[in-house]
């Protein structure tokens, strides 16, 4: 397997600012850069905006011989705008097949504590690689992504130890032109903290934010319930809550 | 077109008219989804259902920004004020939601996924455990049954397997009381396609 010369990180988070997907992806890219690989990063939110943006992004994609996609799990799959870019890439490669071999690896993080909930999204990425002629180099899945909250991994303390090890091991293998090793996959999937604590923190975080927005009393509202719809239309029925 | 025996239509036995919503994620006319939509509408209408189909490619629906505002700022309502809101409202007030899409790497097309991502306001930010896994709690008392239909010229077995898992996972996360999945081949006879759809509706009726 040939070692890559140029790597491209595609960040699939819709957020314009910092994101967990970008924190994970850029850590991996840092290791690749240390190994002497030229690196470049793009946020797919902008690329997906319109076809002109996509065509502007194509030279970066075509230059790379290692493509990394890092994204958050959205409804058991990839975010919609990321799906749009993958559809466009597939159409482009069908029309103009890429002559240079390109490898494709994925990092997916989810808000649930269980990394295994990312399995379907990883399988979709593997199918995308197969359909578009990219060489599948494997994928890393991480649970409890909310604990990163878009900050640099090193700043998140000891809980990121296994994640950092996983990314380093994955980068070492990818830099040699190899697949992401099983050990890195396993390290990445390890719980970064007890699920009970993570979920308590998550719940508290959502409630705090709602309180700040003055929306805590509406936290359990059912705005599309029949009762709520009637109330909205002046039929004087209470908004339903569970 | 095969003639559908409405007397044997499984949905017909519903005690009240069933409200069905077909979300068509086809990318363009001719990719097979519009033809399947027509078959679905015919079967559901003949069974006495109230049916609505939405061709999502014609709707102005933005993509989820991941802001969680639908949980913390305007609970239950997406902060993007476009047709995505009304589609979410229609989904939760339906008895059956059909997710129709060209098979796209084993998943949904962009057109369908943009709506699926916007259904997050329908569930709660709070957590619960289901079969040892974490999921979000329901926001509403009831949710529609879910039928996922993928359409492809030559369905790849691996993609079919992934699609079935995806619909199953979505049904779990969106608290569907029952779900079905079918991947239809564009080259197969219409009668066979009708038969498959009918069988899925029968199964959903049984599981309800």
What the block records as the tokens of B47 is: 């069974």
What the block records as the tokens of B149 is: 């239909």
Q: B89 to chain A: which residues are within 8 Å by CB?
A: 223-224
Q: What is d(CA B132, CA B183) in angstroms, rounded to the nearest whole number?
A: 29
Residues 6+ positions from B84 with CB-CB distance below 8 Å:
B61, B62, B78, B114, B115, B118
Q: What is d(CA A171, CA B5) in angstroms, rounded to the nearest whole number?
A: 59
Q: What is d(CA B110, CA A140) in angstroms, rounded to the nearest whole number?
A: 23
A13 and B133 within 8 Å at the Cβ level: the answer is: no
Cβ under 8 Å to B: A residues 147-186: none
Identify the pLDDT of residue A233.
73
Identify the pLDDT of residue B208.
58
Question: Which of B116, B139, B169 lies at the smallest CB-CB distance from A220?
Answer: B139
A120 and B166 within 8 Å at the Cβ level: the answer is: yes
Identify the pLDDT of residue A242.
37
Q: Number of C-alpha atoms within 13 angstroms, CB side, residue A60?
A: 19
B162 and A218 within 8 Å at the Cβ level: the answer is: no
* Residue A43: CB atoms within 10 Å: 20
- Dihedrals φ, ψ of A56, to 5°? -70, -30
Q: Number of C-alpha atoms within 13 angstroms, CB side, residue A217?
A: 2
B64 and A199 within 8 Å at the Cβ level: the answer is: no
Q: Which of A42, A95, A92 is nearest to A64 (CA)?
A: A42
Q: What is d(CA B122, CA B90) in angstroms, rounded to the nearest whole number?
A: 11
pLDDT in tens, chain B (208 residues): 333 343 445 554 446 788 999 999 999 998 999 999 999 999 999 988 999 999 999 999 999 999 999 999 999 999 999 999 999 999 999 999 999 999 999 999 999 999 999 999 999 999 999 999 999 999 999 999 999 999 999 999 999 999 999 999 999 999 999 999 999 999 999 999 999 999 998 888 776 5
The reply to whether A50 touches chain B by the CB within 8 Å rule is: no
Q: Which residues does residue B136 pair with via DSSP β-bridges, in sequence order?
A: B127
Q: What is d(CA A137, CA B179) in angstroms, rounded to the nearest whole number?
A: 33
pLDDT in tens, chain A (242 residues): 789 999 999 999 999 889 999 999 999 999 999 999 999 999 999 999 999 999 999 999 999 999 999 999 999 999 999 999 999 999 999 999 888 899 999 999 999 999 999 999 999 999 999 999 999 999 999 999 999 989 999 888 899 999 999 999 999 999 999 999 999 999 999 999 999 999 999 999 999 999 999 999 999 999 999 877 777 776 544 444 43
Task: Measure A8 CA to nearest chain B CA, in Å.
Answer: 21
Q: What is d(CA A164, CA A154) in angstroms, rounded to the nearest whole number?
A: 8
The counts of H helices and E strands in chain A are 9, 5
Residue of chain B nearest A16, judged by CA positions: B65
- Segments in chain B forming alpha helices (H): 33-46, 69-72, 83-92, 110-117, 157-173, 190-207
Identify the pLDDT of residue B10.
52
Q: What is d(CA A84, CA B107) in angstroms, rounded to the nearest whole number?
A: 12
B124 and A195 within 8 Å at the Cβ level: the answer is: no
Task: Measure A35 CA to nearest chain B CA, in Å.
Answer: 32
Identify the pLDDT of residue B17.
83
Identify the pLDDT of residue B15.
63
Rounded to two decimals, the pTM is: 0.94
Identify the pLDDT of residue B11.
52
What the block records as the tokens of B43 is: 């079967």
Exposed/middle/buried for residue A89 (C-beta within 10 Å: 0-12, 13-18, 19+) = buried
Task: Measure B143 CA to nearest chain A CA, in Å.
Answer: 11
Question: Which of B74, B106, B122 lies at the smallest CB-CB distance from A124?
Answer: B106
Cβ under 8 Å to A: B residues 72-101: 72-77, 88-89, 92-93
The reply to whether B170 touches chain A by the CB within 8 Å rule is: yes
Alpha-carbon dihedral A62, A63, A68, A70, rounded to 10 degrees: -70
């Amino acid at each position: 397997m040939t070692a890559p010369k140029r790597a491209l990180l595609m960040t699939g988070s819709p957020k314009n600012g910092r994101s967990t997907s970008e924190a994970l992806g850029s850590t991996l890219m840092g290791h690749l850069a240390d190994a002497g690989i030229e690196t470049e990063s793009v946020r797919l939110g902008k690329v997906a905006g319109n076809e002109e943006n996509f065509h502007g992004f194509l030279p970066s994609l075509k230059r790379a011989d290692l493509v990394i996609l890092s994204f958050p799990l959205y409804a058991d799959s990839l975010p919609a705008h990321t799906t749009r870019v993958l559809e466009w890439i597939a159409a482009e490669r069908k029309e103009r097949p890429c002559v240079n071999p390109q490898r494709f690896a994925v990092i997916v993080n989810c808000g649930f504590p269980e990394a295994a909930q990312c399995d379907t999204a990883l399988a979709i990425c593997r199918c995308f690689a197969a359909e578009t002629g990219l060489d599948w180099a494997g994928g890393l899945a991480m649970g409890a992504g909310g604990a990163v909250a878009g900050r640099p991994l090193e700043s998140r303390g000891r809980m990121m130890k296994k994640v950092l090890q996983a990314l380093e091991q994955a980068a070492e293998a990818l830099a040699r032109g190899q697949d992401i090793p099983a050990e890195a996959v396993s390290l990445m999937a390890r719980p970064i903290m007890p699920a009970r604590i993570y979920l308590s923190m998550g719940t508290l975080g959502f409630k705090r934010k709602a309180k700040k927005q003055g929306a805590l009393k509406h936290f359990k509202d059912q705005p599309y319930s029949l009762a709520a719809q009637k109330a909205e239309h002046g039929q004087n029925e209470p908004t339903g809550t569970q | 077109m095969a003639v559908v025996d409405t007397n044997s239509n499984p949905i017909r036995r519903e005690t009240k008219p069933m409200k069905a919503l077909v979300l068509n994620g086809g990318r363009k006319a001719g990719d097979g989804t519009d033809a399947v939509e027509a078959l679905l509408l015919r079967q559901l209408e003949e069974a006495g259902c109230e049916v609505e189909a939405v061709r999502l490619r014609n709707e102005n629906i933005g993509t989820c920004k991941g802001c969680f505002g639908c949980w913390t700022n305007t609970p239950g309502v997406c902060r993007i004020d476009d047709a995505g809101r009304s589609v979410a409202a229609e989904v939760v007030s339906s008895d059956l939601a059909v997710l129709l899409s060209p098979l796209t790497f084993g998943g949904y097309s962009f057109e369908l996924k943009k709506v699926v991502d916007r259904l997050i306001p329908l569930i709660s930010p709070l957590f619960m455990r289901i079969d040892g896994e974490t999921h979000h709690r329901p926001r509403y008392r009831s949710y529609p049954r879910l039928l996922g239909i993928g359409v492809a010229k030559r369905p790849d077995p691996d993609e079919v397997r992934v699609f079935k898992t995806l619909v199953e996972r979505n049904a779990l996360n969106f608290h569907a009381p029952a779900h079905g999945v079918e991947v239809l081949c564009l080259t197969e006879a219409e009668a066979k396609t009708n038969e498959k759809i009918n069988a899925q509706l029968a199964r959903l009726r049984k599981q309800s």
